[in-house]
Structure 1
Amino acid sequence: MSIFAYDMGVPSIEAFFEKRLAQGRAYFTREEAQAAFDLSPHALSVALTRQVRKKRLARPWRGFYLILRPEDRAFGAPDPVRWIDPLMQYLQLDYRIALLRAAAFHGASHQAAMVFQVIVPRQMRGFEIGRQRLEFVYQNPQAFVQVNQTGWLGSLKSEAGFAKVAGLELTLLDCARYFHKAAGIGGLAQIAKDLGGQAKPSDLAQIAVHYENSAVRRLGYLLERAGHVAQADALRPFVRQAKTAALLDPSVKPLVEGLPGLHEKAPGWRLILNESVEVDF
């Protein structure tokens, strides 16, 4: 079969797309396409590239393709929740949807996720595809394996199946650890207020063992400030392990470089409150 037959809409390629869509699999790998069609590797590459140009396909990763429905074409790609799981399976890499998208999933109504954030145990470059933007956040592999457990994960459902998402307690600790990617300290404070009361104190304490002590203390302080006393108390034992006081927001620089300035302290959490925090009620 010639490459030109594909571009003319010969039923075989249409049937391939339709069969995948009917199965709820709006994606395929290059290897699957190679097995389905009697084309040389070069001819297949040209055929797939032309389908991408026609906006019938999108390619978020080399060798991995998305079949675009008409409603997807205006955005250049469907919501990543519909294809992140098969993509990560293709890459043979464990993952979890996290931070702002996970917080919104759990009910943090103030958080608008402008980027689809995924935590992985490997350094990966994010990318944009159409109007969708993906960001991969690195977590130390040892810590990742310890916390990316079934009991601490949830699942996001779409018509394509399920995708792994951080559970509520894991979301809180991820946002505390990577607060600079979760709308800053103010964003973390809002998430702590919105979600903290639903968190299981015992799970928080168990997961927190695998996070930096300063991140745990920041979360504990913000949970206490939001009135979620039981959850804050579950994290209080971590204060005894702290060797030094930490800044609430280490990204805030003093007015005069080299001078620490005078800041209010939260001795109960060994924090220096160098940033005011406000949340919506």
Structure 2
Amino acid sequence: MMLNRRSTLASYLTNLLASGRVSFTRDEAIAELNTTSRGFLAAARRLQDKNALINPRQGFYVVVPPQYLARGAPPPQWYINDLMKHEGSPYYVGLLKAAEIHGASHQAVMQFQTVTDKRMPKIRAGRSILTFFYRKDLDALRAAITDHKTDTGFFKLSSPELTGLDLLRYMHVTGTIDSIATVLSDLGAKMNAAELQKLAPAFERSVIQRLGYLLDFVKHNQAAEGLHAYLHNEKLLPWVDLDPSKKASKSRNPAERDTRWNVLVHRRPELDQ
């Protein structure tokens, strides 16, 4: 009986791949196969032992197509939308991964970065690492989140403008000020000043100041105007360090005091080649 169930589950996975899907839930499979939870779990475990199936979250499974056996899992963009639907949480793929998708990355992005309103632990799926960043008010960003097509459907992706703002909001995970400036040197060409101005109220003032300075620094002044127009109504704009990290060297006499953005620059960014 268990042999039949294992064989049936294997056929289910084959049919799933043929239909253009790579993921499913435990409840879906149990209903489709008319089996028990215990029977399904035993069959799934055997397929996992053969590296044909992974279980990144409780009750959620991803099929490993033959061409991805060596990597241990298909690309996260093939199943992230189904995963977040399973979690019942809005989301978008953002930060450095979004920048890479927008063609603005100078090096391989090691983590698949997703922003969601649910606190979730890091997931290792084959060679991929999925990391999740918490943000409560995703509704305020709705207009800046688009559907990006994949071989298995689509996933939610941050716009170039939202991506740029997030790079400064989550600086602790997006790299050095040099690497952020390098990404913005490409990404800035795809940013729209009006869209940045619309998004600005959803972000901290210091994020806007730093992004504005960096866009000017990499010669995307037109895009920066949207942020400057938003800050124009601020009567008292506090000074902020361009690089707030603890590792950044701070001196009493910064190399630059940018009065357009009220940004203190202790060391000017250096763009990666």
Same fold (TM over 0.5): yes
Residues 48-197 of structure 1: matches in 2 within 5 Å?
48-139=44-135, 141-142=136-137, 144-149=138-143, 152-197=144-189
Instruction: Give the alignment's TM-score, normalised by structure 1.
Output: 0.89
Check conservation: 2:179, 2:272, Cα contact below 8 A.
no
Displaced runs of 4 or more, over 6 A: none
Amino acid at match of 2:179: G
Could you tell me how far 1:254 is from its partner in structure 2?
6.8
Partner of 1:209: 201
Of the three residues 238, 249, 253, the one matched with 1:262 is 253
Of the three residues 214, 221, 238, the one matched with 1:222 is 214
Unpaired segments ≥5 residues, structure 2? none
Check conservation: 2:5, 2:39, Cα contact below 8 A.
no
Could you tell me how far 1:199 is from its partner in structure 2?
1.1
Could you tell me how far 1:6 is from its partner in structure 2?
3.7
Partner of 1:279: 271
1:234 matches 2:233: no
Q: Distance in 2 between matches of 1:130 and 1:109?
A: 23
Q: Distance in 2 between matches of 1:269 and 1:59?
A: 47
When residues 188 and 207 of structure 1 are mapped into structure 2, their CA distance, relative to the original with a 3 A threshold, is same
Q: Distance in 1 between matches of 2:214 and 2:4?
A: 62
Check conservation: 1:81, 1:156, Cα contact below 8 A.
no
Of the three residues 31, 43, 47, the one matched with 1:35 is 31
Could you tell me how far 1:148 is from its partner in structure 2?
2.6
1:249 matches 2:243: yes
* 1:42-95 per-position Cα deviation (integer Å, ceiling 9, x unaligned): 222122112111111111111011111112111111100000001111111110
Matched residue SS, 1:148: helix
Amino acid at match of 2:31: A
What's the % identity of the aligned pairs? Answer: 32
Matched residue SS, 2:90: coil
* 1:229-273 per-position Cα deviation (integer Å, ceiling 9, x unaligned): 111122124265354211111114576xxx863313212211111
Q: Distance in 2 between matches of 1:233 and 1:155?
A: 27
Of the three residues 9, 12, 33, the one matched with 1:13 is 9
* 1:161-218 per-position Cα deviation (integer Å, ceiling 9, x unaligned): 1111101111111112112222221122112211112211000111011101001110
Check conservation: 1:3, 1:44, Cα contact below 8 A.
no
Matched residue SS, 1:269: coil
Deviates more, 1:91-100 or 1:175-184: 175-184
Count of residues in correspondence between the two structures: 270
Check conservation: 1:58, 1:77, Cα contact below 8 A.
yes
Check conservation: 2:5, 2:40, Cα contact below 8 A.
no
Q: Distance in 1 between matches of 2:9 and 2:41?
A: 14
Deviates more, 1:19-28 or 1:39-48: 39-48
Q: What is the RMSD computed on CA atoms of the aligned residues?
A: 1.9
Unpaired segments ≥5 residues, structure 1? none
When residues 191 and 246 of structure 1 are mapped into structure 2, their CA distance, relative to the original with a 3 A threshold, is same
